[in-house]
Amino acid sequence: MPEGRTLFERACRGERGGHAPVWIMRQAGRYLPEYRKLREEVDFLTATKTPEVAARITLQPMERYPLDAAILFSDIMTPLEGMGVGLDFDPGPVLERPIRSAEDARSLRPLDPEEGTPFVLEAIRLTRAELSPDRALIGFAGAPFTLFCYLVQGGGSKDFMEARSFLRLETEAATALLELLGDSMVRYLAAQARAGADAVMLFDSWVGLLGPDSYRRFVLPLMRRVVGEVRAATHVPIIYFANGGATLLRDVKEVGADVVGVDWTLPLSRAVAELGPDAVVQGNLDPAALFAPRDELDRAIQGVLEEGATARAHVFNLGHGIHRTTDPDQVAFLVDRVHEHSAR
């Protein structure tokens, strides 16, 4: 497909025109009855590793709603198995053996995407072949710091203290691990773009645990390098979601991504004030707003669109993943309203 043909890709490049493109983080998932039905027969890991199933799930929300972009059904932890990590899901990721020493960290190998994640690349090819050309397909990876949090902690956590203390106690090993994750995710995202992803997104779900000084010391140089190398290897737009990153946005700007994803705690105009008027932002309706009565939800949607109008361009999304108890009809209403209110 010619570069930048979809409305979504044009918005990522900073162009306005037509309606605001909209997609939803975790749009392929448990709030959809068709997803839950499919998952009765196949467990999560198998679903992510079977290209036909992953493509089917990716397309489920696309069939239901006029969304402007699909995001590949997978997980940020999926490529880690190809680096030698033992992994399970319950429902969040659980590591067989957390990384707790320099020696543990050395046991991991860099990812070769064709070797370690061929099913992801095949799922992208299958999905791209079925998706209509005016709708984009987003590939993604976990950002190195967020992957580091899960690897060292061994699973989910509120504060990831094991991971954050490892960073201070074993700084050299931690830095080497972050670099290895960075190199691996560059290759992974480049391979996804070659397989047909129209844009790639880096999820930094836990970066909000860091203050600006730690972000500048441990994350910013690496993220700049990752984004620079992905850009050198592909021509697709790069989205960086720095969850909880309200205090980090001046530094996030220096990462150099094409689009910055913003969580719901910060009005987009304030994000733009930090990122600069040339910024393209993605977000940021509070996922809880989908539980409000329709008139209130509608006002919240208009509010996000008005805030988004302060940026060079705006990709509408939630401020984080959709909750699994959300009513699917509210999502239909949301997508229609975003299109209607932003049409010109």
Residues contributing to the site for ligand CP3 (CB under 6 A): 25-30, 39, 44, 71, 73-77, 89, 91-93, 140, 156, 203, 205, 243, 321, 324
Comparison of 146 and 342: residue with beta carbon closer to ligand CP3: 146
Contact 8, 136 (CB under 8 A): yes
Contact 321, 285 (CB under 8 A): no
Is 75 one of the annotated active-site residues of the chain?
yes
Q: Could you tell me the smallest distance in angstroms from the CB atom of residue 339 to ligand CP3? A: 20
- Find tokens 């959809």 and name the residue: 32
Query: Annotated catalytic, 150?
Result: yes
Q: Which of 31, 35, 56, 75 is catalytic?
A: 75
Q: Which is catalytic among the residues 16, 39, 100, 217?
A: 39
CA distance 282 to 300: 16
Burial class (CB in 10 A: 0-12, 13-18, 19+), 330: middle
Dist CA 127 CA 136 (whole Å): 10
Active site residue 68: no
Cβ 69 to ligand CP3, closest distance in Å? 11
3-state DSSP assignment of residue 189: helix
| Nearest approach, Cβ of residue 343 and ligand CP3 (Å) | 25
Minimum Å gap between C-beta 170 and ligand CP3 is 23
Of the residues 26, 56, 164, 187, only one is catalytic, namely 26
Closest distance between ligand CP3 and the C-beta of residue 53, in Å? 12
Query: In a 3-state reduction of DSSP, which class is residue 27?
Result: coil
CA distances from 281 to 21, 59, 305 (A): 12, 25, 11
Give the side-chain half-sphere CA count within 13 A for 42: 16
Report d(CA 197, CA 137) in Å as an integer.
5
Q: How far apart are CA 108 and CA 81, in angstroms?
A: 10
- Of 202 and 279, nearer to ligand CP3 (C-beta) is 202
* 39 labelled catalytic: yes
Options 65, 150, 188, 215, the catalytic residue: 150
Rounded Cα distance between 26 and 216, Å, is 29
Q: Which of 30, 125, 217, 312 is catalytic?
A: 30
Q: Which residue is nearest to ligand CP3 (CB)?
A: 205
Name which of 39 and 231 has its Cβ closer to ligand CP3. 39
Compute the least distance from the CB of residue 62 to ligand CP3, in Å: 11
Nearer to ligand CP3, 31 or 170 (CB): 31
The CB density around residue 132, as the number of other CB atoms within 10 Å, is 7
Decide whether 170 or 196 has the Cβ nearer to ligand CP3. Answer: 196
- 189, 116 Cβ separation under 8 angstroms: no
* Cβ–Cβ under 8 Å, residues 92 and 164: no
Nearest distance, CB of residue 26 and ligand CP3, angstroms = 4
The residue among 144 and 170 lying less far from ligand CP3, judged by its C-beta, is 144
Nearer to ligand CP3, 5 or 324 (CB): 324
- CA dihedral (246, 247, 251, 255) in degrees, to 10, reads -30
Rounded to whole angstroms, how far apart are CA atoms 290 and 106?
Answer: 44
Q: Which residue has the tokens 């320099």?
A: 102
- What positions carry a catalytic annotation? 26, 30, 39, 75, 150
